[in-house]
């Protein structure tokens, strides 16, 4: 490919410069032709050579084995207590054993005789109080005071009479008043002359106390 020449201001062309330009163009053209010749050779594919190399197949990788399970812990059992053993010392040969000393038995306490049974006390006999209500005693009733009749005084007097072992009256006192002194005094005077059956403890006559009621009633 040739470059076009230009002329500036109609100046005469320098021959040296023209020669350089032509030389450059020639070199460029030669390069193009040389490349076209080399290109087919370079474009030809080179044959591929494949060779098989025998190789041993790698052994399969085994997976790692799981760790063995932990053995169970042994249960600690209580240690048996050591038996206490006593070693008997053998007597020395030709040793004379002394006989054991006799042990005196402890004296037994004296046997105390059982106390004799206490005698059973006989029950005390029942004491019967003196009696005055017997018919054969002939005890007269007290006289009704005249003044008490006029005033209409009535009531019951209880007398406490101490009787001897022979049945006679030792003393008379008012245990409960009738409310009227005249009636009380008339009752006491009458009972002082009475006779009583004495009190008895079993079959024995003893002194006793009798309660004697005296009733004063006016006729209606």
Does 162 reside within a domain? yes
Closest CA to 159 of 171, 151, 148, 167: 171
Expressed as residue numbers, the domain containing 168 is 127-216
Q: Do β-strands 208-216 and 199-201 pair in parallel, antiparallel, or remain unpaired?
A: unpaired
Asked whether 187 and 134 are in contact (CB, 8 A), the reply is: no
Asked if residue 82 has pLDDT above 60, the reply is no
Residue 78: inside a domain: no
Instruction: Tell me what the pLDDT averaged over the chain comes to.
Output: 74
User: Could you tell me if residue 18 is inside a domain?
Assistant: no
- Model pTM score: 0.44
Residue 160 counted as domain residue: yes
Is residue 158, in this structure, part of any structural domain at all? yes
- Could you give the CA distance from residue 158 to residue 176 in angstroms, rounded to a whole number? 5
Q: How many domains does the chain have?
A: 1
Residues 6+ apart with CB under 8 A from 215: 156
Is 7 a residue whose pLDDT tops 50? Answer: no
Q: Is residue 98 part of a domain?
A: no
**With 80 as the cut, is the pLDDT of residue 185 above it?**
yes
In the predicted structure, residue 8 carries a pLDDT above the cut 70: no
Note whether residue 94 is domain-resident: no
pLDDT above 50 for 51: no
pLDDT at 39: 47
More confident residue, 114 or 59: 114
pLDDT computed for residue 138 by the predictor: 87
State mean pLDDT over 117-146. Answer: 81
Q: Is 47 within the bounds of a domain?
A: no
CATH code, domain with 193: 3.30.2420.10
Distance CA 160, CA 179 (A): 16
pLDDT band at 45 (very low <50, low <70, confident <90, very high): low
């Amino acid at each position: 490919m040739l470059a076009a020449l230009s002329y500036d201001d109609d100046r005469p062309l320098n021959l040296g410069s023209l020669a350089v330009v032509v030389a450059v163009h020639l070199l460029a053209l030669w390069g193009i032709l040389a490349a076209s010749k080399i290109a087919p050779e370079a474009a030809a594919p080179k044959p591929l050579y494949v060779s098989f190399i025998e190789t041993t197949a790698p052994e399969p990788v085994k997976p790692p084995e799981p760790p063995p399970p932990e053995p169970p812990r042994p249960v600690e059992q209580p240690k048996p207590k050591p038996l206490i053993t006593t070693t008997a010392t053998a007597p020395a040969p030709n040793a004379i054993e002394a006989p054991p000393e006799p042990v005196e038995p402890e004296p037994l306490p004296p046997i105390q005789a059982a106390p004799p049974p206490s005698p059973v006390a006989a029950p005390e006999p029942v004491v019967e109080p003196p009696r005055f209500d017997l018919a054969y005693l002939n005890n007269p009733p007290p006289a009704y005071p005249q003044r008490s009749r006029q005033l209409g005084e009535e009531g019951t007097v209880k007398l406490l009479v101490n009787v001897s072992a022979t049945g006679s009256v030792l003393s008379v006192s008012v245990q409960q008043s009738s409310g009227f002194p005249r009636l009380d005094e008339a009752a006491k005077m009458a009972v002082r002359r009475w006779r009583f059956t004495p009190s008895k403890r079993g079959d024995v006559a003893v002194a006793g106390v009798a309660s004697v009621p005296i009733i004063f009633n006016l006729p209606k």
